[in-house]
Structure 1
Amino acid sequence: MTVGIILQGKGSDVITARGTTPLRDICSTLAEKGIGAILVTDAADHIEGIISERDIVKTLAAKGPEALNLPASNVMTTAVVTCGEDDAIMDVMSKMTSGRFRHVPVLRDGKVVGLISIGDAVKYRIAQVEMEAEQMRTYITMT
């Protein structure tokens, strides 16, 4: 199973912000959209970073409530791991687990075409395992 299959099912909407966006606005968008991360892009839509709930919590713990006035560029993770649509889900899940992050932008020809989370990957992996189990049950009952 590939990342592209996940995007076909979930869609390719990606919420982005600029590096100048205040952390307060990032928090509002995360809450409003019910998401866990936002890509930070430049005017040409190139990835500059990603800001996750974990980044926000760390910053608030270190700097207190005044951190909400900081620009996203001060809080975001700049070493963004990406994947392609043809990448295997298991490979991407392995990267997420070893890197301890939960969101990966999906690129096609250097452009962002989606964002998958560990939840997306697990959901589709479970569906695949259930389908395989059902096929096995069908096979067993037919013999």
Structure 2
Amino acid sequence: MKYLKYLFLVQAGFFLFAPAASAGDFEWIKELNIEVKGDSSGFKTRLTTRFKVGDVQLKAVFSNVDRPADAYMVLRLGELSNQPVEDVLREYKKSKGKGWGVVAKGLEIKPGSRAFHALKAGHDLKGGTDKGGGKNKERKGKGRGKK
């Protein structure tokens, strides 16, 4: 009987914490979703400008994702993997609930690669709060120059 209680608690814990763990690979996505709630039309305009996509393609992406930041990720992963948005959406649906790291890996973006670090660093939309800097910013030289 104790074994069944223990098993139940372990399973309950898994189901409670699995969504948080899968979304945890890119923490900035939560912040972007909160930011977008106040200005969804502005966000769509920024996506159109940033990724040079038309309204039809943008509507197709938004109709296939759960949250606004997911639309950004689909477009960004397409750009980084050099794959069409349709292929990214297919991988998104196949890997749903497993996290963006799994989606990126399915698109052959290797963990530890420059592209993967760019994803981890944050979004690169102008007018947002996250500039995508961090460890991945481009470096010029070794810092031994004159001031």
Taking structure 2 as the reference length, the TM-score comes to 0.26
Which protein is richer in strand relative to its size? Answer: 1
Bigger relative CO (Cα 8 Å, ≥ 6 apart): 1
